[in-house]
Structure 1
Amino acid sequence: MNQMVHVGDTLVDLTLSLGDRSGRRRNGDGDGDQPPPPPPSDQSDHDGDRADMNSLIQPLGRDLSINCLIRCSRSDYNTLASLNSSFRSFIQSAELYRLRRLAGVVEHWVYFSCHVLEWEAFDPIRRRWMHLPRMPANECFMCSDKESLAVGTELLVFGKEITAHVIWKYSILTNSWSTGMTMNSPRCLFGSASLGEIAILAGGCDSQGRVLSSAELYNSETGTWETLPNMNKPRKCARDNTEPLSCGEEYDLETRTWREIDNMFPGRNGTTEAPPLVAVVNNELYAADYAEKELRKYDKERISWHAIGRLPEQAVSLNGWGLAFRACGDQLIVIGGPRALGGGIIELNSWVPREGPPQWNLLARKRSGSFVYNCAVMGC
């Protein structure tokens, strides 16, 4: 692999010999790659491992080596980790992704589940599929309502076991699932959003079915939960205790206050419909109208929605359930597909918002369960 990397006032020609493991590009129809588990720590290290552990790439020194690595694609990190133990230790550390964030280097990958307890990741730049390890959850968790959220280098899946709510955490650093963390006020069916290493979860209902107005902030770097001020209204799935809600709420991180906004979303016809499918790209709010199969944009000045075009043809849902609509960096992503007896097809379509109606780009298509249970986008 040869990369020209501009570091400060230095242009470095970085050449790494990776043999046949150099991440050949695969098309969107492939079955995907299985990310290898972290290599075991043993005494069979390469000769380069016995060199100065502070240098990574000997001729460059540690600082320039790190500046080169943070600009490499995440898809290459598994291969780079096999070069020596110094690369492996740094690539499996949270420090790498903290430095990427500080340098403004972010890649957005899509994580979704079309089969209970099974997750896949998709790299929209390389157009590569990757299978995550199967979630080691029990039957009660399988049957419970689940929410998902990507924050920092973690994928969080929220559900319920026999007696309590539970959170399963997948880490891209270890390629493994773990559990044990607990919110201050455990809940399900909440709204959430993430920004870098922090995420905010609001509303939902507790284990007794009470609809909540409380909110919490999760910091993935410290693994801590902070209780935030309550929203103005309790809400769950765009409803309060009994009625649909057309108003929304906006949280200001600086003033730590919630602002209610009227007419944020039209009322729905029935309780079986999915919550609104919304996403934010470049500070603009979009919604997927699954009933009319239209893409809508919110006008903040007029406080109203207007249709700007059609959703992809294969954006099939069951009253909005089973269809994913997400922001993925500077583009909108729609994930779904037609259901068929004995299987289905999943499609990933994207569009970078600009003037005019959306022109959807088919990123990938593969045979899979066509009902998307959960979906999250990780940017790191």
Structure 2
Amino acid sequence: MSNEDGGDDFRSRGGGTSNDTWVGFPSNQGGDDGSSDVEEPQDADYSYVSSLNDELALLILARIPRSDHSKFCSVNKRYLALFKSDELYNIRRAYGIKEASVFMLACGEPHWWAFNRQFTACRKLPVLPSDACFASGDKESFCAGTHLLVSGKEFEGMTIWRYELVKNRWFKGPSMINPRCLFASASCGDVACVAGGIAMGTRGMEILNTAEKYNPEAKKWISLPRMNERRKLCSGCFMDDKFYVIGGQNERGDLTCGEVYDAEKNTWKLIPNMLENSPVLTPSTSRSPPLIASVNNELYSLEPSSNQLKLYLKDTNSWRYLGESPVRADQTRGWGIAFKSLGDRLLVIGGTSPHGTNGMTICTSCPDPNDPGNLKWRVLSCGGNRISHFILNCSVMVA
């Protein structure tokens, strides 16, 4: 699909700034928290903050939102080096300081964009230096720690590119132990897991039941035990500190079961009929993987055929309707829709009309499992609804 509904206007908001600079834009309430370009740092100061010891100053700086980092990089060279190192993120991790960012690639956009949690500021990531096959092909993305990983196919085969937030650069690799596509993935802090999918190697188009975990500190993949079922076009999430893989297809057809990986026991447990009477079993061979998200250890699903939101009831292994989604997922069988967890909120991004003429819509909601009839959505702004509503990739980083 083309980006004829105004992609150039969106790009102009950040086109003249440094890739490392967040650009603010008016919110729905009319506020403006724009940031200026990064200036050459001065080198007159030799301590972080006058009259404060370095340990306290570092703790204060670690609490500064990432969208404001560029404002402090111009203070002196020590600040600049600090914000471009792992030191602040190690402090944030030690003190449990977390901040969510949304990384997104929309149809027709040549660049990835990063948004802050409130969608009041964004910045353009450096150009991903892949070949033309990777750039134009289907891709899958997920985050682990301060790494954004994008998996796709280059002319030489399956490849992973990783964007390191601290260095603001793309790097190639590391490749999975079993390169794959159409797999399930999920992130929980510094942990990211993948499972299932289709093998893209010497074994041909084999449907996999293998699983792996990515370690961002070591920049390597670690094998996990095999799942009970081979499955492709499946989805993953973390819930109750466990990795769930749901739905998908194997050689026999659709799968109604789910599986859960317990890291403490290092085992998979099959959940029969987890998707029975659920929204994801629309009779279409071209539908998207299940649209699922976990918030506060509750599992939610967006039904593409009816645009209805559902809650998974763990005790009865069933689903409950909560209300209608503010975006249309039915026109594309679930493709092009971002349905993610954003802290304690659900995030949904897509179009509001059958042909996307109203552009992108970004909404969040704090669903209450105990009050299913009171679903309220908050519409957010991305600096104007001119970017394509069809989302190719979307991942949330919490670091």
- The TM tier, using the shorter chain, reads 0.7 to 0.9
Structure 1 runs of 4+ off > 4 angstroms? 22-25, 32-37, 313-317, 338-344
1:360 aligns with 2:377: yes
- Out of 88, 98, 102, the position equivalent to 1:106 is 98
- Tell me the CA shift for residue 36 of structure 1: 6.7
- Tell me the CA shift for residue 114 of structure 1: 0.7
- Tell me the CA shift for residue 342 of structure 1: 10
DSSP-derived class of the 2:359 partner: strand
**In the alignment, residue 52 of structure 2 is paired with which amino acid?**
L
Contact 1:124 1:363 (C-alpha < 8 Å) held by counterparts: no
- Out of 380, 389, 392, the position equivalent to 1:370 is 389
- Out of 279, 297, 320, the position equivalent to 2:311 is 297
CA deviation vs aligned residue, 1:354-374 (integer Å, no higher than 9, x gap): 223311000115201111111
Contact 1:314 1:347 (C-alpha < 8 Å) held by counterparts: no
Query: 2:116 — aligned with what?
Result: 123
Decide whether aligned partners of structure 1 residues 256 and 65 sit closer, same or farther in structure 2, where only a CA change above 3 A counts: same
- Tell me the CA shift for residue 298 of structure 1: 0.1
- Out of 55, 62, 68, the position equivalent to 2:60 is 68
Decide whether aligned partners of structure 1 residues 254 and 168 sit closer, same or farther in structure 2, where only a CA change above 3 A counts: same
CA deviation vs aligned residue, 1:24-55 (integer Å, no higher than 9, x gap): 9532489x989978x8xxxx862325x2xxx4
DSSP-derived class of the 1:322 partner: coil
**In the alignment, residue 141 of structure 1 is paired with which amino acid?**
F
Counterparts of 2:22 and 2:249, CA distance in 1: 46
Decide whether aligned partners of structure 1 residues 198 and 104 sit closer, same or farther in structure 2, where only a CA change above 3 A counts: same
- Tell me the CA shift for residue 236 of structure 1: 0.5
Decide whether aligned partners of structure 1 residues 342 and 313 sit closer, same or farther in structure 2, where only a CA change above 3 A counts: closer
Pick which of 309-318 and 71-80 moved more. 309-318
Query: 1:87 — aligned with what?
Result: 79
Counterparts of 1:316 and 1:357, CA distance in 2: 23
Contact 1:244 1:268 (C-alpha < 8 Å) held by counterparts: no
Counterparts of 2:85 and 2:41, CA distance in 1: 19
Gaps of 5+ in 1: 1-21
Contact 1:284 1:297 (C-alpha < 8 Å) held by counterparts: yes
- Tell me the CA shift for residue 340 of structure 1: 8.6
**In the alignment, residue 116 of structure 2 is paired with which amino acid?**
D
Decide whether aligned partners of structure 1 residues 352 and 340 sit closer, same or farther in structure 2, where only a CA change above 3 A counts: closer
Query: 1:26 — aligned with what?
Result: 25
Counterparts of 2:182 and 2:264, CA distance in 1: 26
DSSP-derived class of the 2:249 partner: coil
Contact 1:344 1:369 (C-alpha < 8 Å) held by counterparts: no
CA deviation vs aligned residue, 1:331-358 (integer Å, no higher than 9, x gap): 0000011579897611110001222331
**In the alignment, residue 139 of structure 1 is paired with which amino acid?**
A
Decide whether aligned partners of structure 1 residues 269 and 288 sit closer, same or farther in structure 2, where only a CA change above 3 A counts: same
Counterparts of 2:118 and 2:327, CA distance in 1: 23
CA deviation vs aligned residue, 1:244-293 (integer Å, no higher than 9, x gap): 11111111111111111122224331210111100000000000111111
Decide whether aligned partners of structure 1 residues 252 and 338 sit closer, same or farther in structure 2, where only a CA change above 3 A counts: same
Decide whether aligned partners of structure 1 residues 140 and 252 sit closer, same or farther in structure 2, where only a CA change above 3 A counts: same
Contact 1:33 1:131 (C-alpha < 8 Å) held by counterparts: no
Query: 2:264 — aligned with what?
Result: 254
Counterparts of 1:68 and 1:256, CA distance in 2: 39
Counterparts of 2:212 and 2:295, CA distance in 1: 23
- Tell me the CA shift for residue 227 of structure 1: 0.5
**In the alignment, residue 74 of structure 2 is paired with which amino acid?**
S
Pick which of 124-133 and 217-226 moved more. 124-133
- Tell me the CA shift for residue 126 of structure 1: 6.1
Decide whether aligned partners of structure 1 residues 59 and 315 sit closer, same or farther in structure 2, where only a CA change above 3 A counts: farther
Higher relative contact order (CA 8 A, sep 6+): 2
DSSP-derived class of the 1:118 partner: coil
Query: 2:12 — aligned with what?
Result: none
1:216 aligns with 2:212: yes
Contact 1:277 1:288 (C-alpha < 8 Å) held by counterparts: yes
CA deviation vs aligned residue, 1:51-71 (integer Å, no higher than 9, x gap): 2xxx42232121001110111
Contact 1:350 1:362 (C-alpha < 8 Å) held by counterparts: yes
Query: 2:193 — aligned with what?
Result: 200
What number of residue pairs does the alignment pair up? Answer: 350
Contact 1:317 1:336 (C-alpha < 8 Å) held by counterparts: no
DSSP-derived class of the 1:225 partner: strand
Query: 1:336 — aligned with what?
Result: 350
1:326 aligns with 2:336: no
Contact 2:367 2:376 (C-alpha < 8 Å) held by counterparts: no
DSSP-derived class of the 2:44 partner: helix
- Tell me the CA shift for residue 159 of structure 1: 0.1
Q: 1:269-284 residue pairs with structure 2 within 5 A?
A: 269-284=283-298
**In the alignment, residue 325 of structure 1 is paired with which amino acid?**
F
CA deviation vs aligned residue, 1:288-328 (integer Å, no higher than 9, x gap): 11111100000000100111111014556401001110000
DSSP-derived class of the 1:373 partner: strand
DSSP-derived class of the 1:47 partner: coil
Pick which of 186-195 and 280-289 moved more. 186-195
Counterparts of 1:291 and 1:342, CA distance in 2: 17
Counterparts of 1:142 and 1:203, CA distance in 2: 23
- Tell me the CA shift for residue 144 of structure 1: 2.8
Contact 2:23 2:35 (C-alpha < 8 Å) held by counterparts: no
DSSP-derived class of the 1:90 partner: helix
Gaps of 5+ in 2: 1-20, 234-247
Decide whether aligned partners of structure 1 residues 143 and 325 sit closer, same or farther in structure 2, where only a CA change above 3 A counts: same
- Tell me the CA shift for residue 89 of structure 1: 1.4
